[in-house]
Amino acid sequence: MTKLYTDDAELYDIAFDWDVEEEVDWLSEQLGRPKSVLEPGCGSGRMLDSFARRGIEAVGIDLSAQMLALAHARLRNRAEVSLADMTDFDLGRTFEGAISPINTLLHLSPEQLARHLDCMVRHLEPGACYLVQVGLIEAASCDPYAGSDWEASRGDTKVHAHWEDEEVDFERGVSRQRSRIEVLAGPRAGEVLEEMHDMTLWTPQTWAGAIEASPFREIATYDGGKKGGRPRVDATATGGLLWHQLQPV
Ligand SMILES: C[S@@+](CC[C@H](N)C(=O)[O-])C[C@H]1O[C@@H](n2cnc3c(N)ncnc32)[C@H](O)[C@@H]1O
């Protein structure tokens, strides 16, 4: 696992700690106002925190002990988190909804995604949905230099974050992404954390095939990258911030 999720999880937590309130309102609505939500790969718990503050029982799992330590500090028992691999876990209970934001599932190979979805279906109540944010790209419309820059701060610490596609290989189904977090101010000022992440590249076709082979079906797709709401789009749409609403078959 990369340093961004382990030794430098604190920098991740600062860089990705933007306001998620409106997004969690939307997720909660799409999930049918659930009483309980599971987030696999919950990281430092920013989404769980927001669900918990709405009175929703929020439970997360993550493979990084450092992320979970940050989640414990943030949540202070408002939500439950534990160490587990999202491709092989059994919490012995079910939930009324589940979420996976910001392309977390791209960390899984197609085989791992299949195992993950098999685990997830056992953790959902009948009719409950799993909303996953997974970007889809196609060779014809692919911008090989797609990237984003933003700044974030907490206390004295200020960081500049940069994330970009370094290499997109449609044949191997892999997208190599570069992340760079530079600490601009605070006790770690001057430090730079730069890493490569090999992520699975999904096209609308390969994604549809993976869902077809899983115990889920996709009942709706929304574009989280569009301004002014998350309009419903066709399942063949491409984009970096698509939300897929999955329901057990
Ligand atoms: C992009 S971060 C997202 C964190 C959180 N969902 C959020 O929105 O802030 C991806 C998270 O997935 C976790 N992760 C990656 N592979 C995992 C696996 N196989 N099982 C559980 N967690 C995993 C990482 O440790 C990391 O915390």
User: Is 70 exceeded by the pLDDT of residue 181?
Assistant: yes
Alpha carbon distance 100, 87 (integer Å): 13
pLDDT of 100: 98
Cα 232 to chain center, whole Å? 19
Between the alpha carbon of residue 231 and those of residues 52, 202, 221, the distances in Å are 26, 21, 8
Lowest-confidence range among 84-93, 116-125, 136-145, 161-170? Answer: 136-145
User: Is 80 exceeded by the pLDDT of residue 176?
Assistant: yes
User: Is 80 exceeded by the pLDDT of residue 106?
Assistant: yes
Q: What is the pLDDT of residues 52-88, one digit of tens each?
A: 999 999 999 999 999 999 999 999 989 999 999 999 9
Alpha carbon distance 33, 54 (integer Å): 10
Q: Is 49 in the pocket of ligand 1 (CB under 6 A)?
A: no
CA of 212 from ligand 1 middle (Å) equals 24
pLDDT of 145: 62
Q: Is 64 in the pocket of ligand 1 (CB under 6 A)?
A: yes
User: How do beta strands 174-185 and 157-169 pair?
Assistant: antiparallel
User: Is 70 exceeded by the pLDDT of residue 144?
Assistant: no
Q: Is 43 in the pocket of ligand 1 (CB under 6 A)?
A: yes
CA of 40 from ligand 1 middle (Å) equals 7
Please tell me the chain's helix, strand, coil percentages from 3-state DSSP, rounded to the nearest 5: 25, 40, 35
CA of 106 from ligand 1 middle (Å) equals 10
Q: Is 132 in the pocket of ligand 1 (CB under 6 A)?
A: no
Residue to substitute in 8, 18, 63 for testing ligand 1 pocket (most ligand atoms within 8 angstroms of CB): 63
Average pLDDT value for the chain: 94
CA of 62 from ligand 1 middle (Å) equals 6
Residues 143-151 have a mean pLDDT of 80
Helical segments of the chain, H only: 9-15, 21-30, 46-53, 65-75, 110-121, 204-212
Q: What is the pLDDT of residues 8-49, one digit of tens each?
A: 999 999 999 999 999 999 999 999 999 999 999 999 999 999
Residues 94-103 have a mean pLDDT of 97
Residue to substitute in 1, 107, 195 for testing ligand 1 pocket (most ligand atoms within 8 angstroms of CB): 107
pLDDT of 83: 98
Between the alpha carbon of residue 135 and those of residues 59, 63, 184, the distances in Å are 24, 22, 30
User: Is 80 exceeded by the pLDDT of residue 227?
Assistant: no
Residue to substitute in 39, 48, 62, 199 for testing ligand 1 pocket (most ligand atoms within 8 angstroms of CB): 62
Measured from the Cα of 6, ligand 1's closest atom is 25
3-state SS assignment for residue 105: helix
pLDDT of 16: 92
pLDDT of 139: 85
Alpha carbon distance 125, 138 (integer Å): 34
